Structure 1
């Protein structure tokens, strides 16, 4: 019997930190997880204040501007997404549940989206302290009948969580 201790394969590790998202195109839902370098309070604030405009951008494709939010249940939020060609897409919705700093539920609608159209989705964020900062779980629902939008948005959620991690880790 060996006296060396093997690290439990289920324990958190650097390789498990990478954002991951998967879509259930038939069920119309996306589930994403990421370890984000920052406290639950920092992550919550980065997603619900005009701080969004500092980090939620896809260089060469789009950036966000004009963030507005009334952070309370039934409060409205909106943001303008400016595309690289100068066109704009408006996203908006309302906050459904606010459990600062551990949970946020909100709706989202785009005025125009190539795959999603103006379909409303509901996003649930959960924030748990973790060895690396905060474990973020995202559930984005409302894609039934729009499987291309679900798969495309899953890919974007991985990028978004990576941008948020890079932003908060640098602070």
Structure 2
């Protein structure tokens, strides 16, 4: 049983990122927040960026796209393809930036979301791979996944974006 908020955790070995959090909501609720345009309501903050223009063809082989709009108003597109969708337990997708990211460029990566029911809610674990040789990019993205899971947790548990 969960007692109070569990802080999101994220780590990398320089090749792959593992991040996790426990969210006081059922897997179906967390799954929906991850794969629909609801992403635009919670992914980001007024100090960093916001996700806008989310679109997805929710099927294996379907494409997804989103734009990360920075606080300076710059648009940074990203997208990929769904490799696996097992509602409400697992999403595996490719991911690549549609712009020249400073540490990653346009390298295609794979992100897996695993949602496990636990007493009082859901444990979400993210495995983000494909950083081979780009340890600075892995470290940067590990830090970001910790923030993203915090935003997701705050939104799903309260209905409001993180402050």
TM-score above 0.5, yes or no: yes
Question: 2:17 is paired with a residue of what secondary structure?
Answer: strand
2:13 aligned with 1:24: yes
Partner of 1:59: 46
Question: 1:18 is paired with a residue of what secondary structure?
Answer: coil
Match of 1:109 among 80, 90, 96: 96
Runs of 4+ in 1 over 2 A off after TM superposition: 11-15
Q: How far off its partner does 1:132 sit? A: 3.4
For residues 112-141 of structure 1, the C-alpha deviation after alignment (integer angstroms, 9 at most, x for no partner) is: 211111011101111011123100010000
Question: 1:155 is paired with a residue of what secondary structure?
Answer: helix
Q: How far off its partner does 1:12 sit? A: 5.2
2:125 aligned with 1:137: yes
Question: 2:31 is paired with a residue of what secondary structure?
Answer: helix
Unaligned runs of 5+ in 1: 1-10
Map 1:1-171 to 2 at 5 A. Answer: 13-14=3-4, 17-25=6-14, 28-112=15-99, 113-171=101-159
Q: Indicate the structure (1 or 2) with the bigger Cα radius of gyration.
A: 1
Q: How far off its partner does 1:103 sit? A: 0.7
- Kindly indicate whether the alpha-carbon contact (under 8 Å) linking 1:35 and 1:132 is maintained by their aligned counterparts in 2: no
CA RMSD between the two structures: 1.3
> TM-score, structure 2 length as denominator?
0.92
Q: How far off its partner does 1:93 sit? A: 0.2
Question: 1:86 is paired with a residue of what secondary structure?
Answer: coil
> TM-score, structure 1 length as denominator?
0.88
- Kindly indicate whether the alpha-carbon contact (under 8 Å) linking 1:53 and 1:64 is maintained by their aligned counterparts in 2: yes
For residues 3-55 of structure 1, the C-alpha deviation after alignment (integer angstroms, 9 at most, x for no partner) is: xxxxxxxx75547x211010111xx1000111012111111110100000000
Unaligned runs of 5+ in 2: none
